[in-house]
A and B are shown apart, each in its own frame.
Chain A
Amino acid sequence: MSLAEAHAGSGFTISKLWTEKRYRSVLFQLIALALLVALVFFIVNNTIANLQALGVSYGFGFLSQPANYDINQRLIEYDSTMTHGRAAIVGLLNTLLVAVSGIILATLLGFTFGVLRLSNNWVVSRLVYVFVEVTRNVPVLLQILLWHGTILNLPTVKNAFSFFSQTFFLSNRGLTVPGPVPEPGFQVVPIVFLAAVIGAIVFTRWAKRVQDETGRVYPVFLINIVGIIGLTVLAFLVTGKPLSWEIAEMGRFNLSGGVTLRPEFIALWLALSFYTAAFIAEVVRAGIQSVSRGQTEAAYSLGLRPGRTTRMVIIPQAMRVIVPPLTSQYLNLTKNSSLAIAIGYMDITATLGGITLNQTGQAMEAVMLLMAVYLSFSLFTSLFMNWYNHRTKLVER
C-alpha cells in the first residue's frame, strides 16, 4: 500500500502524455518518426507506381547485362563484352586511384606549405600565402579545366618532349614512362620487402620498450629506413636483377608500350591535390600555432634539443587540432573527384553514372548505387581518421 502511494506521483496516465513535459517530448518524437516513415514509404510507393504506369522496368538486373562500351584506363581486365557491373568496378577503381593519389600528394604539399607559411623568411611565407589564397578561392572545377587545358597545349605526341635518353615522353596525350616487366624470380623481392617492413615494426616496438625501461635511445627511424631499403635492394641484386623495363616506341598514331598517365588523370590529380593542399596548409598552420609558446620553452628547459622538441612536443599536440579538419579535407577531395566528368576521366560517375545510366536508362538505380559508393568511401575515411584521432588525442586522467 505504501509502495503504491510512493509511486502514485510518477504513475503514468494517458492525460500525462500532453500535460507532463517528459512524456510530451517522447510523444512528439514518436509522431515525428511515424510521419517520416510514412513520407519515405509514400515516396517509394509513389515512385514505383509511377514507373509502372510509364511501363519502365526497374531493378538492378542491368548490372549483369553486357556493357558494350570501352574504357581507356583500366586497373583490372575489362573489355566491351563484360558487364555493366564490371564497368562500374573499373570506374570505382579509377575513382579510388585518383582519390588515394590525391590524398597522398595533397598531404605532402599541404604540410610543406603549412610549415613554410610560418617560415621566418618573409619572401617564402608571403609567396605561400599568395598561393594558398589564390588556390583555395578559385572553384576546383575551373582549376581542373585549367590543368587540362594546359596539358592539351603541350606538344602533340609526334613531337613529344623526351627525357633520359628517349625513355620518358611528355605530350598532350600524357606522360609515358617505361613499364616494369617482372621476370622469373622477381616475386622474392616484394616478399623480402614485406618481411623487412614487419621486422621494422617489431624493432620499433622493442626499441620503445627498451627506452621505457632503461632510457636508452636507438636511432629507430634511420635503422628502419636503411633496413627496409637495404634488404630489398640486396634481394634484388642477389636474385640477379630479375626486372626489365619496357620502353615506349612511337607507333603509327600513338606511343605503344610503357605506362601512360593520361592527361585526364594528371589534370584531375594535380588540380585536386593543389586545391586541397591549400586548405590543408591552413589547417596545419592553425594546428602549429595552437600549441602555446610555453610548451616549447618548457621542453627547452628540460634540455630537449629543438628537433626533438618539434617532433615529440609540438607535433603531437598540433596533430590533435589538425586531424579533425584534415578528415573533412580528405572527404572533400574524394567527393570532388566526381568532377572528373568535366574532362572525361573515367571514374565511377562517368561509367556507372554516365554511360551505363544512359544506355540502360536505369537512372534511379544508378544514382542510388553512386550515392551508396560515395557514402561508404566517406564513412570509411571518417572511421579511419576517427581511429587515428582517438589514438593521438590527449589522455585525460
Chain B
Amino acid sequence: MKKVIGVLAAAASVTVLSVGATAGTLDDIRAKGFLQCGVSTGVPGFGFTDDAGNWQGFDPAVCQAVAAAVFGDSSKVKYTPTTGKTRFEALKSGEIDMLARNTTWTFSRDVDLGLTFVGVNYYDGQGFIGRKSLGISSAKELDGASICIQTGTTTELNLADYFRINGISYEPVPIETNEEARTNYVADRCDVYTTDASGLAATRSTFEDPDAHVIFPEIISKEPLGPLVRQGDDQWADVVRWTLNVMINAEEYGVSSANVDELRGGSDNPEINRMLGSEGNLNEMIGLDKDWAYNIIKQVGNYGEVFERFLGVNTPIGLERGLNALYTDGGLLYAPPMR
C-alpha cells in the first residue's frame, strides 16, 4: 500500500511540475545550466555530428547562438535528435526548450499545436530530383511515376495537392528518414525523390555521381523553415527570436566574428552600438547580460558566416543564397531594427 501511495505522490509531483514548467523557461534553463535543443536526426549541412561526435550545422548554430546569449558560452547546449514525428511532442512536453530542425512554419502548427514560431532562418520550397537518364525536364511530365517521399512532413500534402491540380497520377513511396529515402532512390525503387530543395541539394552531394541527377525547376510549395518554442512563454520566445534577429542584423550592419571585438567599444553606427551594448539598455529589456549580442556574433557568427560555413557554395552542399540573401541583396531576409 505504501508503494502505491508513493507512486501516486511521485506521479502527482511530476505532473504538477510539468504544468509549472510552461512559464519561466529562461529561469529554468539558467538554473539547470544548459539549453536542451531539439535537432534533426541528420541532414547534411543542416544538422549533423562531426568527427568528435558534436552536433554541427545550420540549425544547431541557432541553438549555440541562444546558449551564447543566455550563458555567454555557446557550448552549453545539449541536443536531442528528433524525427518528423516526435519533434512537436518533445517540445510540448518540455523535454526540449527549443526546436531548431528544418521545420516548416504553417498556420495549424503555429495556432493549433501549442507552438510558437519565432522567425525564419531558411526560406525553402519543395522540389524534385530525378536521373538525367529519365530524359524529362519538368515535374509535370511525371505522370505515372513512383515518387519517394519522406513521411510525416508537409511534403506529402504538397505533393498530393500538386498532382491533383495538374491532374496527373503517381505512386507515393513513403519513407521514414532522409537516409532511407536516399537508399530507395539510389536503388531505383522510385523514379524521383521529393523534399525541400535545400535537402535535395544536400542529399545529391552524397551521391556517387551527383552530375547524373537533376533537380527539376518546379518548386511546388513555400517552406519557411525556422526555430520554434512552446506557446505561452513570451519572454523565452523573445530571447530566441532576437537571437536570430541579431544574427541577421549583424550581417546587414557588417558585424562579423572577425570585427566584433573592434566594434564592441563603440562605432559611428548607433544601430551597432545599441546591439552590442555600448549604447542604450536593450539587454535589460530582454533580461540578458550586456554582452549577449557580442557573444552570439563572436562565438557563432552572423547569419552570412553561418550560411557560408555549412551550406554555401564552398561547401559540398553548394547552395546559393537565393531567397536567403539579405533584402538589400534582393533576398527575403529582413530583421526588425534594434531599438
Contact = CB atoms under 8 A, between A and B. Distances in A.
Contacts of B172: 69-72
A173 B92 CA distance: 39
A152 B164 CA distance: 29
Interface in A167-204: 172-173
Given A68-B161, A354-B152, A53 B146 contact: no
A70 B144 contact: no
A254 B145 contact: yes
B152 A70 contact: no
A156 interface: yes
Given A55-B231, A56-B112, A354 B151 contact: yes
B323 to A, nearest CB: 25
B113 A32 contact: no
Contacts of A360: 108
A386 interface: no
Contacts, number: 123
A68 B108 CA distance: 14
Contact of B152 (A46, A156, A355): A355
Contact of B232 (A42, A55, A251): A55
B132 interface: no
Contact of B160 (A54, A80, A152, A354): A80
Nearest to A49: B19
Contact of B92 (A38, A56, A346): A56
A357 B152 CA distance: 8
Contacts of B152: 354-355, 358
Looking at A69, A263, A342, which has the most chain B CB atoms within 10 Å of its CB? A69
Interface in A233-269: 251-254, 256, 263
Given A253-B144, A361-B112, A72 B173 contact: yes
Contact of A152 (B4, B8, B12, B187): B187
B144 A39 contact: no
B230 A54 contact: yes
Interface string A346-381: 100010001101111101000000000000000000
B205 interface: no
Contacts of A157: 188
A56 B113 contact: yes
A263 B163 CA distance: 23
B171 interface: yes
A54 B22 contact: yes
A254 B146 CA distance: 7
B232 A69 contact: no
B89 A363 contact: yes
Contacts of B157: 68-69, 359
A172 to B, nearest CB: 6
Nearest to A54: B114
A31 B1 contact: yes
B192 to A, nearest CB: 9
B59 interface: no
Contacts of A156: 188
A359 B175 CA distance: 16
Contact of A53 (B22, B112, B134): B22
A344 B88 CA distance: 21
A358 B146 contact: no
B11 A39 contact: yes
Contacts of B180: 344
A154 to B, nearest CB: 9
B18 interface: yes
A344 to B, nearest CB: 4
B113 A361 contact: yes
Contacts of B187: 152-153, 172
Nearest to B148: A344
Nearest to B18: A50
A344 B176 contact: yes
A253 B189 contact: no
Given A344-B176, A361-B109, A253 B22 contact: no
B191 interface: yes
A35 interface: yes
Interface of A: 28, 31-32, 35, 38-39, 42-43, 46, 49-51, 53-57, 68-72, 80-81, 152-153, 156-157, 172-173, 251-254, 256, 263, 341-342, 344, 346, 350, 354-355, 357-361, 363
Interface of B: 1, 4-5, 8, 11-12, 15, 18-19, 22, 84-85, 88-89, 92, 108-109, 112-114, 134, 142-146, 151-153, 156-157, 159-161, 163-164, 170-176, 180, 183-184, 187-189, 191, 230-232
8 contacts: A49-B19, A54-B114, A55-B232, A70-B163, A152-B183, A354-B151, A358-B84, A361-B88
Given A70-B159, A157-B188, A350-B151, 18 more contacts: A46-B19, A54-B231, A55-B232, A56-B112, A68-B161, A70-B172, A80-B161, A152-B187, A172-B187, A172-B189, A252-B143, A253-B146, A254-B145, A254-B146, A344-B151, A354-B152, A355-B151, A357-B85
